[in-house]
């Protein structure tokens, strides 16, 4: 099975278990570690466990593929399934937002369900107003020093 096919299959399997916001990133040109990342979110520990089990069980039973490594625990809110050319990240939504893998690998194109790169949405530019000078000069305030005797009298 080609790595792109495997990545799309992992996405479909995650979606079978109602994974949220499943994304496939083609990192082959920006990483020497793997070709594709699949990032999926779940809402609870049992949901994360169901997503991971769906992927590992289906790939093992129907395609004779086993993860080279499984890292992380489901109760830790992030589990990584390493299929060598495809690495699947199953994460709780708050953990996903914190680590922002899509932003970290922002140069990698997203792959759609048809296997083609998705078009990126144009970023909105933010207009920031600069502070306007009023032309006034700053006033300097002199604060009297206290005496060393602690009486509060000026020196």
Burial 124-150, CB ≥16 within 10 A → b, else e: eeeeeeeeeeeeeeeeeeeeeeeeeee
CA 23 to chain centre: 10
Give the mean pLDDT of 32-60.
92
Give the mean pLDDT of 9-19.
93
Asked if the model's pLDDT at residue 93 lies above 70, the reply is yes
Does the pTM surpass 0.75? The reply is: no
Q: Which residue has the higher pLDDT, 131 or 37?
A: 37
In the chain, what are the domain boundaries? 3-111
User: What are the tens digits of pLDDT across the range 138-151?
Assistant: 666 666 666 565 55
User: Which CATH superfamily is 3-111 part of?
Assistant: Beta Polymerase, domain 2 (3.30.460.10)
Q: How far apart are CA 15 and CA 3, in angstroms?
A: 18
What's the pLDDT band for 133 if we cut at 50, 70, 90?
low
């Amino acid at each position: 099975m080609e790595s792109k096919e495997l990545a799309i299959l992992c996405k479909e399997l995650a979606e079978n278990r109602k994974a949220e916001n499943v994304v496939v990133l083609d990192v082959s040109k920006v990483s020497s570690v793997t070709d594709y990342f699949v990032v999926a979110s779940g809402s609870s520990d049992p949901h994360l466990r169901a997503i991971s089990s769906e992927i590992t069980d289906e790939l093992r039973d129907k395609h004779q593929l086993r993860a080279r490594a499984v890292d992380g625990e489901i109760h830790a809110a992030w589990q990584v399934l390493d299929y060598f050319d495809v690495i699947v990240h199953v994460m709780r939504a708050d953990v996903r937002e914190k680590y922002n893998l899509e932003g970290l690998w922002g140069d990698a194109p997203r792959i759609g369900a048809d296997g083609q790169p998705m078009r990126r949405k144009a970023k909105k530019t933010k207009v920031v107003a600069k502070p306007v000078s009023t032309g006034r000069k700053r006033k300097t305030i002199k604060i009297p020093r206290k005496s060393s005797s602690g009486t509060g009298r000026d020196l």
